[in-house]
């Protein structure tokens, strides 16, 4: 069967294509307004801001055909912003009308003690029977959004499921053959693929759905899980092969050779099968020139996203760029190429430091930085800032204007104080900027998440730098991923218990098979930490 996909070219729908193909169907892209009405089954992944989605629909003349298809109860599946587009409007884009199928508004998560955007795996509570969602099969599903549809009396007959994240919000809507999810089934592992399969394979007759609402856990609130992320530092070795390597305090060479810990696509697939909640690729030679279309990481992403159905992040070299054929690209061009290849998030390292240095000088947003350009088009949740800090010890706080902490880990001369200096070029160059200045400014410029590495801990197996993580978590309201230093499963339990980090990442212990992702998850669950 042919499944029709509405792709208006604003982001990563490759993963939806790959999921449909994985389930044995072929994909046909909407070419005309008529396709929207006549398609046997239509999937509409909403990517980018509410305003961007609605503007693209209006420019293409797709608004009325969509409203007609839904009015005729033809099979329709909306994902993420496509659910929001069914409503009347959104705070994200004031003055831009939605499709107005469901009465009500989309609003931003209020600033509570929870990180915004919500990025991660949360549960759902079914309010009625569904042909697509079976509560007994669903542990957690992947959400990545800063806005949500409100639960209102007027829209109640549409609401299929709700989720708790500081407030109860609409996580799924359904009426007849028309469904839409705030979560991403194509990024929710096997649980998500099962949901997509039900939409693609057809639904059981209405009769099965007529019985009473599910016994389900209508009282139990849902809780977002802490994410366990596998990170693959990728570079070419001295023989020109693209390998997964690993630094020891950022030094990737051992006995003169670049450490070779495996092939990127194979390792990523293994981690997905072991239960990783996300996979991050860092192209640590990002500053070498390749023609953009030949970027070796494009192929890695394309091949990985064919079999890995959890979120993929790519970092390294995301900045404006002139390739070896002297063609210039903006950072948005580079990011867009990665999104088209299957990335869900991009991470910016060095360029974020340079951007913030300029921003702190002027206090003015130019709208031209890589952070702003990519966030405006793809949304804050698609922009991760990879921070490469190292400790600078001082005898007393008066010795520096930077954000100093009193540390329980004294310096080489028994200093009790330190600040965290940001670096560029993979830790090769220290800059006169500290992590608090960097992360606060990046949040103001539109970044949606912090990948918080730590040069002092990287590759040491000595545990996460809890003081650094605590300092950064207290400085921003966007999610933070703790990174660097994990040596055993209990280090993950410790970072989740001692800090409010939203996720924890490791590389070396997974590549060297010293600890499995499964062990990390079991230890965390045993300690009462919410885990998928
Ligand atoms: O500056 O935007 O081109 O991005 C470069 C990216 O590559 C940055 O994200 C930077 O952190 C990363 N990077 C550059 N050089 C290195 C290196 O190691 N020589 N990797 C490098 C930094 C940090 C994590 C590592 C964790 C966990 N490594 O990738 O996986 O520290 O390690 P562990 O669990 O083994 O302790 P740009």
Q: Is 487 close to ligand 1, i.e. is its CB under 6 Å away? A: no
Expressed in angstroms and rounded, the spacing between residue 161 Cα and the centre of ligand 1 is 39
pLDDT at site 286? 58
Expressed in angstroms and rounded, the spacing between residue 316 Cα and the centre of ligand 1 is 9
Nearest atom (ligand 1) to Cα of 231 = 30
Catalytically annotated residues:
80, 184, 186, 233, 388
pLDDT at site 204? 54
Question: Where along the chain do the CATH 3.40.50.880 domains lie?
Answer: 2-210
Q: Which residue has the tokens 């997905």?
A: 272
Find the helix packing angle between 370-378 and 331-340, rounded to 10°: 40
Q: Is 232 close to ligand 1, i.e. is its CB under 6 Å away? A: no
pLDDT at site 215? 45
pLDDT at site 243? 86
| CATH no. of 2-210 | 3.40.50.880
Expressed in angstroms and rounded, the spacing between residue 428 Cα and the centre of ligand 1 is 11
Q: What value does the mean pLDDT of the chain take?
A: 92
Q: How confident is the model at residue 217 (pLDDT cuts 50, 70, 90)?
A: very low
pLDDT at site 87? 98
pLDDT digits (tens, 9 = 90+) for 108-129: 998 778 899 999 999 999 999 8
Question: Does the pLDDT at position 295 exceed 80?
Answer: no
pTM value is 0.94
**DSSP calls for 298-323:** HHHHHHHTTT--S-EEEESS-S-EE-
pLDDT at site 11? 67
Q: Is 347 close to ligand 1, i.e. is its CB under 6 Å away? A: yes
Q: Burial of 326 by CB count in 10 Å (0-12 exposed, 13-18 middle, 19+ buried)?
A: exposed
Q: Is 159 close to ligand 1, i.e. is its CB under 6 Å away? A: no
Pocket test for ligand 1, best of 250, 465, 511 (most atoms within 8 A of CB): 250
The mean-pLDDT minimum among 64-68, 236-240, 447-451 falls in 236-240
Q: Is 481 close to ligand 1, i.e. is its CB under 6 Å away? A: no
Nearest atom (ligand 1) to Cα of 251 = 19
Fold for domain 227-526? TIM Barrel (3.20.20)
DSSP state of 293: G
Strand intervals (E) in 165-295: 168-175, 178-181, 227-236, 242-245, 253-254, 257-258, 278-283
Look at residues 180, 107, 187 and name the one whose alpha carbon lies nearest to residue 382.
187
Question: Where along the chain do the CATH 3.20.20.70 domains lie?
Answer: 227-526
Q: Is 231 close to ligand 1, i.e. is its CB under 6 Å away? A: yes
The stretch 448-465 carries a mean pLDDT of 97
pLDDT digits (tens, 9 = 90+) for 240-274: 788 898 888 888 888 888 888 889 999 999 999 99
Q: Is 423 close to ligand 1, i.e. is its CB under 6 Å away? A: no
The mean-pLDDT minimum among 8-12, 33-37, 266-270 falls in 8-12
Nearest atom (ligand 1) to Cα of 232 = 30
């Amino acid at each position: 069967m042919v499944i029709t996909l509405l792709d208006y070219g604003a982001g990563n729908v490759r993963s939806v294509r790959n999921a449909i193909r994985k389930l044995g169907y072929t994909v046909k892209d909407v070419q005309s307004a008529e396709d929207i009405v006549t398609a046997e089954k239509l999937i509409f992944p909403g990517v980018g801001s509410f305003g961007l989605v609605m503007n693209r629909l209006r420019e293409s003349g797709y608004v009325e055909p969509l409203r007609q298809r839904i009015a005729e109860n033809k099979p329709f599946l909306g994902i993420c912003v496509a659910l929001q587009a069914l409503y009347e409007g959104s705070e994200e884009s004031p003055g831009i009308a939605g499709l107005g199928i469901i009465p009500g508004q989309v609003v931003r998560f209020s600033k509570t003690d929870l990180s915004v955007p919500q990025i991660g795996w949360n549960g759902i509570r079914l309010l009625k029977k569904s042909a697509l969602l079976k509560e007994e099969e669903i542990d957690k599903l992947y959400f990545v959004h800063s806005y949500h549809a409100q639960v209102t009396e007027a829209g109640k007959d549409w609401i299929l499921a709700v989720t708790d994240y500081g407030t109860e919000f609409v996580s799924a809507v359904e009426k007849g053959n028309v469904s839409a999810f705030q979560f991403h089934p194509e990024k929710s592992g096997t649980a998500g693929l099962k949901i997509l399969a039900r939409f693609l394979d057809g639904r059981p007759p209405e009769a099965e759905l007529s019985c009473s609402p599910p016994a389900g856990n209508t009282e139990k609130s849902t809780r977002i899980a802490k994410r366990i992320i596998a990170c693959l530092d990728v570079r070419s070795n001295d023989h020109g092969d693209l390998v997964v390597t690993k630094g020891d305090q950022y030094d990737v060479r051992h006995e003169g050779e670049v450490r070779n810990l495996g092939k990127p696509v194979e390792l990523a697939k293994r981690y997905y099968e072991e239960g990783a909640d996300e996979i991050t690729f860092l192209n640590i030679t990002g500053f070498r020139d390749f023609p953009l279309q030949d970027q070796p990481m494009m192929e890695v992403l394309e091949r990985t996203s064919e079999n890995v159905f959890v979120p993929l992040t790519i970092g390294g070299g995301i900045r404006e760029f002139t390739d070896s054929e002297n063609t210039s690209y903006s950072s948005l061009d580079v990011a867009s190429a990665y999104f088209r290849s299957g990335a869900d998030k991009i991470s910016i390292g060095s360029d974020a430091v340079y951007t913030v240095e300029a921003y702190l000088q002027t206090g003015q947003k130019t709208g031209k930085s890589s952070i702003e350009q990519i966030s405006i088009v793809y949304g804050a949740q698609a922009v991760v800032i990879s921070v490469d800090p190292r400790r600078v010890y001082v005898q007393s706080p008066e010795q520096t204007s930077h954000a100093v902490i009193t540390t329980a880990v004294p310096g080489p001369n028994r200093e009790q104080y330190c600040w965290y200096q940001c670096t560029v070029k993979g830790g090769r160059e220290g800059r006169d900027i500290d992590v608090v200045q960097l992360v606060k400014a990046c949040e103001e410029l539109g970044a949606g998440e912090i990948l918080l590495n730590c040069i002092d801990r990287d590759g040491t197996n000595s545990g996460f730098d809890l003081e650094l993580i605590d300092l950064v978590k207290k400085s921003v309201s966007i999610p933070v991923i703790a990174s660097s230093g994990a040596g055993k499963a209990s280090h993950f339990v410790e970072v989740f218990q001692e800090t409010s980090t939203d996720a924890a990442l490791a590389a070396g212990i997974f590549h060297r098979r010293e600890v499995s992702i499964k062990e990390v998850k079991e230890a965390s669950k045993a300690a009462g930490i919410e885990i998928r």
